[in-house]
A and B are shown apart, each in its own frame.
Chain A
Amino acid sequence: METTPAVSAGRDGSTAVTPGGDAPNELPEALTPEQLAAQWEEEKPPAAGPLANAASSLVVLGVGIGALVLSVAMGLGTLSAPQPGLWPFMASCVMVALGLFQLILGRHNRDAEKFTRMSFAPLIGLATLATMVALMPLIGFEIPALVLCVIWMKFLGGETWRSTILVSVLVVVAFYAIFILALGTSIPHLF
């Protein structure tokens, strides 16, 4: 099953696309499955170093230990008369043990991806989503949704202003028609 990396890489096709900041050069067409798998492997985002692996293991450990402490506080009881904390205690023990294992033996794994310049895009995306969640109850969904569309299409997606504005307005109008007029949902709306 040496092709497994290619499978995980090609999950949605997007990973088979040149990622990272490199210009997407037209690659020569791969001929054999082996070449194709190798090419996908090459096009995968750069792998993160041991530091990122250690950090993720530490987060796992932290969450695990937190859950462990909280479940002990809930009371464990005995196997025949378990208290509410027993089952979360078992699950968090597994998590802590695996976190430790990952910290020590998994630090050279290469399955984590490096954060690149491109990683700002999801960060900006997240900021717009969070803003939308914060503003929706106050001013309705229309304006935040329009702003979100514009930011995602123009600045994250590199669309032209013309298509950005056209599509954004269409999208908001369509959502208003579907969710408010047709389905009559109680989504906070301004108009």
Chain B
Amino acid sequence: MDFLNPVINGFSVVLEPMNLLYCLVGVVIGMLIGVLPGLGPAATIAILLPLTYGVEPVTAIIMLAGIFYGAQYGGTITSVLLRLPGEASSVVTVFDGYQMARQGKAGTALGLAAIGSFIGGTAAIIGLTFLAPLVAGFALDFGPPEYSALAMLGILLVATISGGSKAKALIAASVGLLLATVGRDIFTGESRFTFGSIQLADGIDFVPIAMGIFGLGEILYNLEERHRAAKAPSKVSNVWPSKAELKHASGAIGRGSVLGFFLGILPGGGATIASMASYAMEKKRAKQPERFGKGAPEGVAGPETANNAAATSSFIPLLTLGIPANATMALMFGALLIQGVTPGPQLVEQEPELFWGVVNSMYIGNILLLIMSLPLVGIFVRILRVRAAILAPITALITLLGAYTINNSMFDVTLVVVFGVVGYLMKKFGFEPGPLVLAFVLGELLESSLRRSLLVFDGDPTGFFTRPISATLLAVFVLVALMPGIRSAMAKRKGTTAASASAGDGTNNDGANNIKEKV
């Protein structure tokens, strides 16, 4: 049972009072923010990044992870009670959750969601415990060519799976890559894009970019919208679902756990896709699909289970390969880098305490989530009445003052404001901010491994295809890049595609080809 020793040691890390406290703080903050209107989990984590400077790496990540899955559940509460999805991954919960609330079963819906989240999360942690060391072991042989291919594939997948225009997402990614080159070139020591500024010579920090684009950008964007005053939500009573209801939903919870776990591992996947896939699956499987949208408990239990399972399993690519699977994981990656920890295959071996500490903290986090969410629903309902107008300046000030505390420099604060404007304009013009931040985080890894591999291959780019793993990854890259083009071509042949749709689809194809050519 040698394998289990570090796992068990990880529990002793989690059970240190400091870590338990930060886990609790993270989960509570996450739930609160998930319930409050305006900020999503990525924005919350971005704004709170300065908090993690003063603490141990394990503690920092435990707290950020807590925020992440806490927000996951917080979003459910608003979906069910107010028909306002707190974030994208609980959109489908609205369909049946709100209907259940209208039928006076709000408590049951929230209870099912909490229990499903707990089961899905726990199942995913167990899966993670066994799968992560395997993946990491496999990835230990990865050299620079594999990393270049993997990083490119990761960026492409995140950009193409995101909601909006794929060309715009890829443009955002290329901006991220360019921003990552600002500062000294690691190979030659020459300054790039610094425009003579001393502050830029060391490159742009990740935190001001994340705080600006995700945090302040979202705050500015929300200023534009008039928030409908949250009408007093229906009274929530009887949060514990009955045995019959639980039994009825158990199938959905089981399927959601498995589906969510696997969709969470995929780059570009994650909680949102998992919840939507689970809803679709439950509806398809149901004997009376017409019940869906009218308050079917499976329509809440399945997606809520799946999104929590996916949120958990999306830690696998981050912790074992060093490739964040989505924007939130890119923030975790950045937070780890700040702490001097580079996530990657060596992490399990070299820092077992950190690795297993974080993994095992998720059990605790899930338990905290379960025991707190059910009794505290009433308090969350009251928090819903806090008006956005009061919240906005507070979050803006936290962002500015927090940014100052990173390096005690006004330059960082200025950067946050500048990137806040960039983030706001990106949202206005339909550019996803996620790919930018992800590409920025991966930019240095991608450049250095690309240059190292070219050194190994003596400048011959076909060398990537002589190694089986990098060849496979690049083949997948090409496939993903060409897929929309092929699809739209086929659709065109059928003559059903609208001109605009094919334009949007073809975009990605073209852009990806360009990346391909440059490699």
Contact = CB atoms under 8 A, between A and B. Distances in A.
Q: Would you call the interface of chain A mostly helix, strand, loop, or mixed?
A: helix
A126 B220 contact: yes
Interface in B53-71: none
Given A7-B276, A80-B455, A148-B397, A74 B190 contact: yes
Interface stretch (B165-173, B232-240, B337-345): B165-173
B163 A133 contact: no
Given A102-B167, A133-B410, A79 B95 contact: no
Interface string B218-241: 111111111110000000000000
A42 interface: no
Interface stretch (B2-10, B78-86, B201-209, B315-323): B78-86
Interface in A174-191: 175, 179, 183, 185-187
B187 A145 contact: no
Residue in B224, B413, B414, B461 with the greatest tally of chain A CB atoms within 10 Å: B224
B293 A33 contact: yes
Interface string A149-181: 100110011110001000110010001000100
A97 B510 contact: yes
B508 to A, nearest CB: 9
A81 B459 contact: yes
B228 A111 contact: no
Nearest to A74: B192
A43 to B, nearest CB: 10
Interface in A1-46: 1, 3-8, 10-19, 24, 29, 31-34, 36, 45
B175 A122 contact: no
Contacts of A167: 390
Interface stretch (B131-139, B368-376, B421-429): B421-429
A139 interface: no
Given A32-B293, A101-B167, A112-B430, A153 B389 contact: yes
A4 to B, nearest CB: 5
Given A12-B39, A106-B165, A153-B390, A79 B460 contact: yes
A105 B504 CA distance: 8
Interface in A40-75: 45, 48, 52-53, 56, 60, 63-64, 67, 70-71, 74
B397 A175 contact: yes
Residue among B91, B222, B408 with max Cβ neighbours from chain A (10 Å)? B91
Nearest to B510: A101
Contacts, number: 280
A174 to B, nearest CB: 9
Nearest to A111: B430
Contacts of B39: 12
A152 B395 CA distance: 11
Nearest to B446: A87
A187 B405 contact: yes
B88 interface: yes
A153 B424 CA distance: 20
B171 A95 contact: yes
Contacts of A130: 417
A19 B224 contact: yes
A85 B188 CA distance: 11
A136 interface: yes
A125 B506 CA distance: 38
Interface of A: 1, 3-8, 10-19, 24, 29, 31-34, 36, 45, 48, 52-53, 56, 60, 63-64, 67, 70-71, 74, 78-85, 87-88, 90-95, 97-99, 101-102, 105-106, 108-113, 115-116, 118-119, 121-122, 125-126, 129-130, 132-133, 136-137, 141, 145, 148-149, 152-153, 156-159, 163, 167-168, 171, 175, 179, 183, 185-187
Given A70-B193, A133-B400, 20 more contacts: A5-B163, A8-B88, A12-B39, A13-B82, A13-B84, A17-B84, A29-B102, A80-B458, A83-B188, A91-B181, A94-B170, A94-B174, A98-B514, A105-B506, A109-B500, A110-B500, A113-B427, A122-B220, A126-B220, A152-B393
Interface of B: 37-40, 78, 82-88, 91-92, 94-95, 99, 102, 163-165, 167-168, 170-171, 174-175, 177-178, 181, 185, 187-188, 190, 192-193, 216, 218-228, 272, 276, 292-294, 387-390, 392-394, 396-397, 400-401, 404-405, 408, 410, 413-414, 417, 420-421, 424, 427-431, 447, 450-451, 454-455, 458-461, 499-500, 503-504, 506-507, 510-511, 514-515, 518-519
